[in-house]
């Protein structure tokens, strides 16, 4: 099973159970949090001295799903 944001926003009750927020509340927070994450986490990694790889240089991956 693979859940995505686009799937969850179509089911507001499930979205609220997962996040504790309504879709509207989450979307109000998304832009400011994304900007801060980019500035405080991604920016320093990309601009780190001695960095060898280009941004996005890693391959695509996913966690395996194992129904138990």
11-61 pLDDT, tens per residue?
999 999 999 999 999 999 999 999 999 999 988 888 888 877 766 666 676
In this prediction, residue 49 carries a pLDDT of 87
Cβ neighbors of 3 (< 8 A, separation 6 or more) are 18
Q: E strands along 1-68, which residues? A: none
Burial of 24 (0-12, 13-18, 19+ CB in 10 A): exposed
Q: In the 8-state DSSP scheme, what is residue 63?
A: P
pTM of the model: 0.59
Assigned token pair, 3: 């859940």
Q: How far apart are CA 21 and CA 12, in angstroms?
A: 9
In this prediction, residue 5 carries a pLDDT of 87
In this prediction, residue 42 carries a pLDDT of 85
In this prediction, residue 21 carries a pLDDT of 95
Q: Can you give the residue ranges of every domain in the chain?
A: 21-48
């Amino acid at each position: 099973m693979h859940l995505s944001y686009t799937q969850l926003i179509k089911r507001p009750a499930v979205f609220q159970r997962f996040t504790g927020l309504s879709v509207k509340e989450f979307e109000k927070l998304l832009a400011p949090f994304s900007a801060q994450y980019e500035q405080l986490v991604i920016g320093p990694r990309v601009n780190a001295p001695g960095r060898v790889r280009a941004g996005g240089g890693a391959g695509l991956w996913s966690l395996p799903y194992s129904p138990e």
